[in-house]
Amino acid sequence: ANLPKRPVPVFPLPGVVMFPHAAMPLHIFELRYRTMVRDALSGERLIALATLKPGWQDDYQGSPEFHEIGCVATFESVEWLPNDCYDLRLRGMWRARFVRVAREFPYRACDVEVLPSSPYDEDDPLAGMERAALLETTRKLLPLGAEAWTQPPLTTTDASFETIVNSIAQASRLPADARLELLAIDSVFDRARRLHELLKTITAAPPPPPSGPALGQN
């Protein structure tokens, strides 16, 4: 895939962190971002997902600040709805640093620096071990449903190591700053290990209260 040749339209969202190779559904209803989708579709078919910084509510209609590292994504599917909104399915392409805001209106577009990941060998036995451990922990967390996941996590073993790591990281209901920390890690191995550590903090959640008659009542 060709790297962006011009400033990339930026869609900043609260609490959302997108990763390369992972998919994300999005519903676009704001006028400025409907315009952004139309412009992107007639251009390089790329938009960048950025994570809004705390305090974004005070300036949401203006230009609230977002974190400097995000993800450039392409359109996997686009549905134009009768009310002129869009349902999108995006696929992450590259980790990117937002270098400079090149345009402010009607939406922001930024010059981006694509951040390469450290190369690795898919057949490395270490990759196989890390993949198996991560998938096992993910399966254990599946019964927690929405307590642990914002979308169903990838549990198939035929995807690449990086796709599995990034898809689980994106789907997890870890705090946004933890997911941003993962996105900033260049090595897929290091990202996988850190993700595994973070997922274990979800497994340590307190058990649900026992069902049945209320405790302490006669």
pLDDT value, residue 57: 66
Q: Report d(CA 41, CA 155) in Å as an integer.
A: 31
Residue type, 104: E
Sort strands 69-80 and 46-51 into parallel, antiparallel or unpaired: antiparallel
What does the CA dihedral 192, 51, 117, 140 come to, rounded to 10 degrees?
A: 20
Q: In this predicted model, what pLDDT tens digit does every residue of 140-169 receive, in sequence order?
A: 999 999 999 999 998 888 999 999 999 999
**By C-alpha distance, which of 69, 72, 85, 67 is closest to 22?**
72
Look-up of token digits 């933890």: 178
Q: In this predicted model, what pLDDT tens digit does every residue of 26-48 receive, in sequence order?
A: 999 999 999 999 999 999 999 99
Q: Helix count (H) and strand count (E) of the chain? A: 5, 6
Sign of CA dihedral 52, 56, 61, 63: negative
Please, where are the H alpha helices in 71-187? 125-141, 161-171, 176-183
pTM: 0.90
Q: In this predicted model, what pLDDT tens digit does every residue of 94-149 receive, in sequence order?
A: 999 999 999 999 999 999 999 999 999 999 999 999 999 999 999 999 999 999 99
